[in-house]
Copies of this chain bind each other. A is one copy, B any other.
Amino acid sequence: IGAMIYSMATEEPTKLDTPSIAERDALQKRESGVSENSPMRLRMEEFIKEQQKEIVAELEKVDGKKFQVDTWTRENGGGGISSVLQDGNVFEKAGVNISIVYGTLPRAAIEKMRVHHKAIDPDIQSLEFFAAGLSMVLHPINPMAPTVHLNYRYFETANTDGTSNAWWFGGGTDLTPSYLFDEDAIHFHKTIKDACDKHDKAYYPRFKKWCDEYFVNKHRGEARGIGGIFFDDLDEQEKDQENTFAFAQSGLKAFLPSYIPIIMKRKDMPYTEKEKQWQQIRRGRYVEFNLVHDRGTAFGLNTPSARVEAILMSLPLTASWRYMFEPEKGSREQRLVDVLREPREWV
């Protein structure tokens, strides 16, 4: 999903008489910094940068190894920071990436967006846009410790005079265990639900369902994991920008309390070679979802000159496909599969 924002900017921005939003934003940052009165673009950028630092720092404490940080800039404004930890003590592979994209949307993309965002002019030929997001996938070594995925993003289109046109937030987080500990599932869902409830009591049930429906390996009739929340296209038709930003902030800030207690409990648990193999098979399912069903990944990979390594950072370091593997009846492995076939209510 996060891949969308890396790869949307396939066309170079059209040269306009008025300054582009990238130019405006650069100027404003230089002259007056970022405050509560700044455009949402700059506030979201600042927020995800802070969050990336905080999350990376916490994960380094958990792992004991440092992330490799790659910073890249885009020619026409924006850029990103990829933080990846590979072959750690706790994490097999952990990626926490942010990206800021200024670009121009082609006609086909505009038409798709109008389905959800009527503020976009139907007759316009091309459209300046801004996207900022934080994407994270953590694959722990220990099969008792679950994989987690998170993505929060902000999208905006600009009028030809450079003022803001349509905007929306999207995001979510979900947990993918190889061995299911009910207490972990409950803790994860409860932490997210609490973050949602502060803003709208309807959010958690609605976005939990959306998550259960989206992260499914349809060809196997099973969910990728035990869910969490997922939402997209949250715009002014629901709530004002300030409230929606506050919700996205709560969601992203809930990550550390939702996951750190789980990883601390599981990272040093004993496990057998057989349990490690089961984890590898579940990793294979993760790859299947991301490569076969995830819209963002597909979109990204089909975009010329996409940053393939950033898009595929979500894949595990190792995975396995074992022909006709069937868990034993009544086993813990079978119990996980049963839950993946029929999503539960955890809180």
Task: Pick the most buried of A287, A323, A324: most chain B CB atoms within 10 A of its CB.
Answer: A323
* B residues in contact with A291, CB < 8 Å: 287-288, 291-292
CB of A125, distance to nearest CB on chain B (Å):
28
In the complex, the answer to whether A323 meets B284 with C-beta atoms within 8 Å is no
Which B-chain residue is minimally distant from A293 (CB atoms)? B301
Main secondary structure of the interface of A (DSSP, over half): mixed
The interface size of chain A toward B, counting residues with CB under 8 Å, comes to 33
In the complex, the answer to whether B322 meets A280 with C-beta atoms within 8 Å is no
In the complex, the answer to whether B95 meets A306 with C-beta atoms within 8 Å is no
CB of A283, distance to nearest CB on chain B (Å):
9
A residues 315-345 with Cβ under 8 Å of B? 315-324
B93, B319, B321: the one within 8 Å of A323 (CB)? B93
CB of A83, distance to nearest CB on chain B (Å):
11
Q: How far is the CA of A84 from the CA of B313 in the complex (A)?
A: 31
For the complex, is A70 an interface residue (Cβ under 8 Å from B)? yes
B318, B322, B323, B324: the one within 8 Å of A320 (CB)? B318
Give 1 or 0 for each of A185-201: 1 = CB within 8 Å of chain B CB.
Answer: 00000000000000000
Given contacts A292-B301, A319-B318, contact A309 B324 (CB under 8 A): yes
* B residues in contact with A313, CB < 8 Å: 323
Task: Pick the most buried of A308, A321, A324: most chain B CB atoms within 10 A of its CB.
Answer: A321
In the complex, the answer to whether A84 meets B323 with C-beta atoms within 8 Å is yes
A residues 54-113 with Cβ under 8 Å of B? 68, 70, 84, 86, 93, 95
* B residues in contact with A28, CB < 8 Å: none
CB of A306, distance to nearest CB on chain B (Å):
7
* B residues in contact with A70, CB < 8 Å: 324
CB of A314, distance to nearest CB on chain B (Å):
9
* B residues in contact with A280, CB < 8 Å: 318
Q: How far is the CA of A276 from the CA of B167 in the complex (A)?
A: 48
In the complex, the answer to whether A323 meets B86 with C-beta atoms within 8 Å is yes
In the complex, the answer to whether B219 meets A308 with C-beta atoms within 8 Å is yes
Task: Pick the most buried of A309, A318, A319, A320: most chain B CB atoms within 10 A of its CB.
Answer: A319
* B residues in contact with A298, CB < 8 Å: 292
Q: How far is the CA of A220 from the CA of B311 in the complex (A)?
A: 12
For the complex, is A10 an interface residue (Cβ under 8 Å from B)? no
Give 1 or 0 for each of A284-299: 1 = CB within 8 Å of chain B CB.
Answer: 1001100110000010
CB of A320, distance to nearest CB on chain B (Å):
5
For the complex, is A254 an interface residue (Cβ under 8 Å from B)? no
Q: How far is the CA of A323 from the CA of B84 in the complex (A)?
A: 8
A residues 259-293 with Cβ under 8 Å of B? 280, 284, 287-288, 291-292
Q: How far is the CA of A322 from the CA of B287 in the complex (A)?
A: 14
Q: How far is the CA of A309 from the CA of B70 in the complex (A)?
A: 39
Q: How far is the CA of A288 from the CA of B324 in the complex (A)?
A: 21
Ranked nearest first, the 5 interchain pairs of A and B with the lowest CB-CB distance are A291-B291, A219-B301, A315-B321, A84-B323, A318-B320
Q: A68-B323, A292-B301, A309-B323 are in contact. List 20 more A-B contacts (CB 8 A).
A: A70-B324, A84-B324, A93-B321, A95-B323, A218-B302, A219-B301, A219-B306, A219-B308, A280-B318, A284-B315, A287-B291, A292-B298, A309-B324, A315-B321, A317-B320, A317-B321, A317-B322, A318-B320, A319-B319, A319-B320
